[in-house]
Amino acid sequence: MSEDIKKTISELHIYEKKLLKELEANPDATPNRIASNTGMDIKSVMSAAGSLASKDIIEMRKDVQMIYSLTEDGLKYANQGLPERKILNVLAEKKQIPMKDLADEAGIDKKETGIALGWLRQKNWAQIDKGVINITDVGKDFAGKSDVDEKVLEHLKANADGVKLFADDLRDGFKKLTGRKNILNIKKETSHSFKILPKGEEILNVGFEIKEQATQLTHEHLKEGEWKSLEYRPYDIKAEAPVIFAGKKHPLRVIIDEIREIFLNMGFSEDNGEFVESAFWNFDSLFQPQDHAAREMQDTFYLKNPLTCDLPDDALVKLTAETHETGADTGSIGWQYDWSEDIARQSVLRTHTTGISTKHLFNHEPPIKMFSVGRVFRRETFDYKHLPEFHQVEGLVCDKGISYQNLLGTLKEFYKKLGFEVRFRPAYFPYTYLSTETEIYLEEKESWIELGGAGMFRPEVLRPLGIDQPALAFGLGIERLAMIRYDVEDIRMLYKSDIKWLRELPTVNGVEL
């Protein structure tokens, strides 16, 4: 005996064994017969059969059969005759009927006359001439005998439980009847039949015992020592199981929550800003001159409602204006232009989260460790790596002795915790010096991908805010990280709610276990 067969037999459920034995004795047994012969319920028979079929032990066939019976109208016609028959009966006696008297003479409903005449003509039982219906020779012939469809009506009436197949001599009549509305009831009956396959034969040849098997150990089994003598059915640990898609967080949410956790664990506290912000906080507080390219309409969404925002504290506004114009006492000469309050009042959808850093510095005393995650908005055209709104995480550390080295260390640590190794590239931002951009190398693309900007806030930023200690800050994109982690080529995928993709993503942190 082959090992395989032995193993297969040992893994058969008792219901499968019963079913197989029953089929051996009764190859044509229907599921119902098997159920009554074995004492199993029909559901168990079907699931055992499905399981045997999946192992190629039996074949399961599904037959669909139509069952025909008479509708209420059909029964009426079977009892009283089809309307054309009623007309023919009268014609047989009177040879002709004037059209206008048809319904009364034949005792049929006025509504039925059209159909009745149609069939009269089709069966060639009568002809109509100048408003008078005349019987034909065929009509005379049929006056005393049933037509094929009438025979079927009789047959169906005699077999009230329904008819599955019509004998050859009834076939034509049946076809004729199916062409008429509301006479036949058609019911579909599905039945199953089984056939033992060679592997099943082999199993039966080897033979097996039908014995109750323990599927669950109870307290009593253990206490009474019965577990020693119980028969156990081995598990097939390779059996296919239905795939279950558990509910889970959206991958972008997963990564955002992870980022928040990392910063919270690193001792940062979380702050939040608003989507609608004044140009003052979004640009001016960051020493971005009022004619800076990033402020242009094609880069920034300006709002109609509210058209403007309130400016903060007068002293801050004044100092900011001075710094922009002349550098005030920062050691810089500023941007050398006339700063405008109106421009600073404009309301924008924040283009980055960095305004949260300056506002936070204004409202808090160092030492400060703050982070913030949120959406930002830019007038980008949609494509595989740009969206007009996306997420950034902003970070800010301000204290005595904070240096550029701390900035690089913080970023390195953050990315490492997320599972990314980054490099730093010198960069320029109007609000930082030194400045850097973090990048990650993507092997499959053989290129460096930019992840975000960072730097040490310039005195021109810090002074008006009343801060005289160094501050490091960074603003990092989140979607790119998600794209790399989830191997997404097109950023739009993250917003598409593609249910197939979402379902198939691994559940735990999006990481393959």
Give the residues lining the site for ligand DAH (CB under 6 A). Answer: 352, 354, 357, 394, 429, 432, 452-455, 473-475
C-alpha torsion sign, points 408, 323, 274, 343: negative
Q: Minimum distance from CB of 377 to ligand DAH (Å)? A: 11
Run of H or E including 373: strand 368-377
The torsion angle over the Cα atoms of residues 34, 38, 44 and 46, rounded to 10 degrees, is -20
Tokens of 151: 């025979």
Q: In this structure, how many other beta carbons lie within 10 angstroms of the beta carbon of residue 338?
A: 8
Backbone angles phi, psi at 131, to 5 degrees: 75, 10
Q: Minimum distance from CB of 385 to ligand DAH (Å)? A: 15
Q: Which is nearer to ligand DAH, 150 or 271 (CB)?
A: 271
Q: In this structure, how many other beta carbons lie within 10 angstroms of the beta carbon of residue 14?
A: 17
Q: Which is nearer to ligand DAH, 38 or 357 (CB)?
A: 357
C-alpha torsion sign, points 31, 36, 40, 43: positive
Instruction: Determine the Cα–Cα distance for residues 486 and 255; give it in Å rounded to an integer.
Output: 10
Q: 40 near 15, Cβ under 8 Å?
A: yes
Q: Which is nearer to ligand DAH, 50 or 367 (CB)?
A: 367
Q: 273 near 376, Cβ under 8 Å?
A: no
Q: Minimum distance from CB of 318 to ligand DAH (Å)? A: 24
Q: Which is nearer to ligand DAH, 374 or 452 (CB)?
A: 452
Q: Minimum distance from CB of 472 to ligand DAH (Å)? A: 7
Q: Minimum distance from CB of 391 to ligand DAH (Å)? A: 11
Q: Minimum distance from CB of 254 to ligand DAH (Å)? A: 23
Q: Minimum distance from CB of 452 to ligand DAH (Å)? A: 6
Query: Longest C-alpha distance within the chain, in Å?
Result: 126
Q: 448 near 439, Cβ under 8 Å?
A: yes
Q: Which is nearer to ligand DAH, 339 or 429 (CB)?
A: 429
Q: Minimum distance from CB of 277 to ligand DAH (Å)? A: 13
Q: Which is nearer to ligand DAH, 162 or 430 (CB)?
A: 430
Q: Minimum distance from CB of 429 to ligand DAH (Å)? A: 5
**E runs forming strands in 240-359:** 269-270, 276-278, 347-349
Run of H or E including 439: strand 432-442
Instruction: Determine the Cα–Cα distance for residues 382 and 494; give it in Å rounded to an integer.
Output: 13
Q: Which is nearer to ligand DAH, 29 or 473 (CB)?
A: 473
Q: In this structure, how many other beta carbons lie within 10 angstroms of the beta carbon of residue 199?
A: 16
Q: Which is nearer to ligand DAH, 152 or 344 (CB)?
A: 344
Instruction: Determine the Cα–Cα distance for residues 13 and 33; give it in Å rounded to an integer.
Output: 20
C-alpha 218: how far from chain center: 41
Q: Which is nearer to ligand DAH, 344 or 473 (CB)?
A: 473
